A and B are shown apart, each in its own frame.
Chain A
Amino acid sequence: MRLRRNREGDRSARETQILGWLFVAPAIVAVGTLILYPLVTGFKESIRSGGILFGEKPGYVGLRNYRDVLHDPTSQSAMRHTVEYVVLAVSLEIALGIAVAVTLHRVFRGRGFVLAVLILPWALPSVVSGVLWRRVFDPDTGLLNSVLLQLHVISQPHIWLAGGHSAILFITIVHVWGVLPLISLIFLAGLQSIPDEVYSASAVDGATPWKQFRHVTLPLLRPSIAIALTVGTLLAISIFDEIYVLNGTALNTRSILIQVYNTTFTEADFAHGTALAFLLAAVTAVFGALYALALRRSTV
């Protein structure tokens, strides 16, 4: 009797195992062949020498490419720019994201419409966003110059995308335009987890709306802020499309990925390009781990 029951149980458990692996197989195959395998190939490429094209002996050179990239001034400026992008983008996203979430938290007439419109910038291809915003930043026909000229803030049209910090700032604005909806939703979800009664209680306790925000909302939003920080950083650190459309590979706005693109495809230096890409991947991995940690803590 017992023996037979065990066999039944075994079979069911084994069936589940087999089915499980079967169902997961397509995903594993797809990811394995098209992501993991190229990852290995790419890594091999990054530790290889440039070969004859660069006047070098073909073969493996260990971490030399990585060291080259870290010391290369163009790469270094790309890294500096990327840090600027990240710091700017994340600060704007968190400040604006909380503001948007607080504004849209309570139900009001037309809220559905505003929420629908809110995610439009996120839904559009970032390349298209770049095209749309060009009209704002164009030196001759752009909205910004037009308005500023009319308000007499500037006397001549400014070439925004040629400057140093102003170029980075404006590209960041375009990037934030596309990412803000996602961040706002993260904060909106966080706000919804704060019970309404706490606001009533603080109102009775004498708090003005601003004080409610400072003493009740913000502290209770800390887990959401952690999530928004990591998501925003991950997205900003790999900024590419917006820069490419607005300013191409111009040196003053290069991010790390633009630099990788330039090295790998314009200069055909696969080895150094891939090395830089792996450096970025390492940094991204750290932030990814932070994200996982932040997620776990917020669901506790």
Chain B
Amino acid sequence: MITSPATRLVKAIAIVLIVFWSVGPIVLGITTSLSTQREVNAVPTHWVPSHPTAAAYQALLNGSTGQSTGGTVTQGGDFVHAMTNSAMIALGGAALTLIVATMAAYALGRLRFRLSGAVLALLVGTLIIPIFVIVIGLFQIMANAQLIDTKRGLILVFVATQSPLATWLLYTQVRELPHEPEEAALIDGCRRWQAFVRVVVPQMSSGIAAVAAIIVLSIWGEFLIPLLLTSTMNAKPVTVLITEYVGKYTTNYPILAAAGVMALIPPAILALVLNKRITGMLAGSS
């Protein structure tokens, strides 16, 4: 359609605004992380570091003290430990959740057994429950099972909290799949579960990838549950550690920013790489 120059201009401005709005704070974080504390605390403050320095990153990664960052970082290697924790918990949690959710989605979407509607409603219903009503009871159960402050414990909790959403997303996928390939496999002599593994799961692969990405992002970003269920660096993820830093290094912006930037790199990369799949799934299931 022929659009007037005015419309095109407005749209162009809007697009630029959208990009700045989305990326601005991140860029700000990056420049801050490469500055020195003195520069940041100067009045008026500096936006772009005159001499970008990686001192803040070094301090966080090595646990070394650096004068330019104005303070020590507690126990060396904490940050790296926290990042590793986050990664293991997110990947482990996502993998287990996917297994649980794919099976459940297949059962509810394909097998259509009696009461499957009720089970689906139950699972989806739990999506509404805010974490807080279950934390006390959850804490007790985890304590009894000696899973407090363990990565395993957190993974199990996340499987429980993420499965409903994952099952729902995969369920909508399963319903749209053609059922002929599975039927062909059954006729060819496969048992139901074999058909599931060999035919249906491959059919769902792109949906599974998208859901996997969404779950990894969700778990990586979890804050409240790990806050309440971890105490030492055994299992503490980077989200909890960062909030501790906010309390500890309130004015040490370079360190805070560096921590923030490093904490956002994995989810950012994941979001950028699997962008199309993720947006497709989010838009489609709404």
Residues of chain A whose beta carbon lies under 8 Å from any beta carbon of chain B: 15-17, 19-24, 26-28, 30-31, 33-43, 45, 99-100, 103-104, 108, 110, 112, 114-136, 138, 140-143, 146, 149-150, 177, 181-182, 185-186, 188-189, 192, 199-200, 203, 209, 224, 227, 231, 234, 238, 240-241, 244-245, 257, 260-261, 264-265, 270, 273-274, 277-278, 280-281, 284-285, 287-288, 292
Contact = CB atoms under 8 A, between A and B. Distances in A.
Which A-B residue pairs are the 10 nearest by beta carbons? A38-B137, A41-B137, A20-B113, A125-B221, A34-B160, A123-B271, A288-B128, A23-B107, A277-B132, A189-B283
B178 interface: no
Interface in B222-260: 222-224, 228, 239, 242-243, 246, 251, 253, 256-257, 259-260
Contact of B25 (A17, A41, A136, A227): A136
28 contacts: A20-B107, A20-B108, A20-B112, A21-B107, A27-B104, A34-B141, A37-B137, A45-B136, A103-B18, A108-B11, A116-B275, A119-B271, A119-B278, A126-B223, A127-B242, A128-B242, A132-B28, A141-B253, A142-B45, A149-B44, A185-B286, A189-B284, A227-B286, A238-B130, A277-B133, A281-B130, A281-B133, A288-B128
Contacts of A138: 253
A7 B196 CA distance: 24
Contacts of B134: 34-35, 38-39, 42
A227 B267 CA distance: 26
Residue from A30, A119, A123, A146 with most neighbouring chain B CB atoms (10 Å) = A123
Contact of A131 (B22, B164, B259): B259
Given A19-B107, A20-B111, 10 more contacts: A34-B141, A34-B160, A42-B133, A117-B22, A125-B263, A128-B242, A131-B242, A132-B264, A189-B284, A200-B1
B138 to A, nearest CB: 4
Given A274-B136, A281-B129, A20 B116 contact: yes
A131 B29 contact: yes
A120 B18 CA distance: 12
Q: Among the interface residues A122, A261, A273, which one has the most CB atoms of the partner chain B within 10 A?
A: A122
A41 B243 contact: no
B27 to A, nearest CB: 10
Interface stretch (B50-58, B64-72, B119-127): B119-127
B129 A39 contact: yes
B100 interface: yes
A196 B48 CA distance: 45
A259 to B, nearest CB: 10
B190 interface: no
A128 B260 contact: yes
Interface residues of B, number: 98
SS class, residues of chain A in contact with chain B:
helix
A288 to B, nearest CB: 4
Nearest to A291: B128
Contact of B138 (A26, A38, A177): A38
Given A124-B221, A278-B133, A33 B160 contact: yes
Given A16-B113, A126-B223, A209-B3, A265 B260 contact: no
B119 A280 contact: no
Contacts of B177: none
B14 A103 contact: yes
A245 B221 CA distance: 13
A104 B21 CA distance: 14
Contacts of B99: 26
Contacts of A119: 271, 275, 278-279
Given A37-B141, A39-B137, A141 B40 contact: yes
A123 B267 contact: yes
Most A CB contacts (10 A, CB to CB) among B19, B127, B223 go to: B223
A128 B14 contact: no
Contact of B104 (A23, A149, A281): A23
B239 A127 contact: yes
- Chain A CB within 10 Å — which of B164, B221, B224, B284 has the most? B221
A138 B246 CA distance: 12
B41 interface: yes
B211 to A, nearest CB: 14
B18 A127 contact: no
Given A27-B167, A131-B242, A135-B257, A114 B19 contact: yes
A189 B283 CA distance: 5
A264 B278 CA distance: 36
Contacts of A182: 282
Contacts of B126: 31, 35-36
A107 B135 CA distance: 46
